[in-house]
Amino acid sequence: MFKRNLLELVLSGLKTQTRRLHKHTLKEGQIYTLKKNWYKNTGEYIKITRVAHQRLGDITKDEAEKEGFRSIEEFRQAWIRINGSWDPDMEVVVYDFELADSSQRQSRLT
């Protein structure tokens, strides 16, 4: 779900928000496995705490920081590296999340 450098930010608690182009939305309140790649789990989980839609260009400095970046420009450059281009009018799905604690992870397994 996350690039390696961004996964490290998630695991450290510095990244608590992400934006996605996909139409398949993760569900608020659900717990998802964090993966190192398509096949290998980290053993950690996140809980989606909010799902919203937003124009890409409407990201705020606070949101860029939740994404793990120091500024909107730093986020924009990373977005271009990952997705190939920046269209401020493009609608994206915004996910807020938190690392799931052991009791939340257990409820996912039962």
**pTM of the predicted model as reported, rounded to 2 decimal places:** 0.86
Q: How far apart are CA 9 and CA 5, in angstroms?
A: 7
CA distances from 6 to 37, 82, 94, 104 (A): 12, 11, 16, 23
Q: Are residues 92 and 54 in contact, defined by beta-carbon separation less than 8 angstroms?
A: yes
CATH number of 4-109: 3.10.400.10
Give the per-residue pLDDT at 104.
64
Q: In this prediction, what percent of the chain has a pLDDT beyond 90?
A: 71
For residue 109, is pLDDT > 70? Answer: no
pLDDT tens digits, one per residue of 50-102: 999 999 999 999 999 999 999 999 999 999 999 999 999 999 999 999 999 76
How high is the mean pLDDT of the chain?
Answer: 89
Q: Is the pLDDT of residue 110 over 50?
A: no
Q: For 21-109, where are the E strands, in sequence order?
A: 31-35, 41-55, 91-99
Q: At a CB cut-off of 8 Å and minimum separation 6, what does 47 contact?
A: 29, 30, 31, 32, 97, 98, 99, 100, 104
Locate 62 and state its tokens.
């606070």
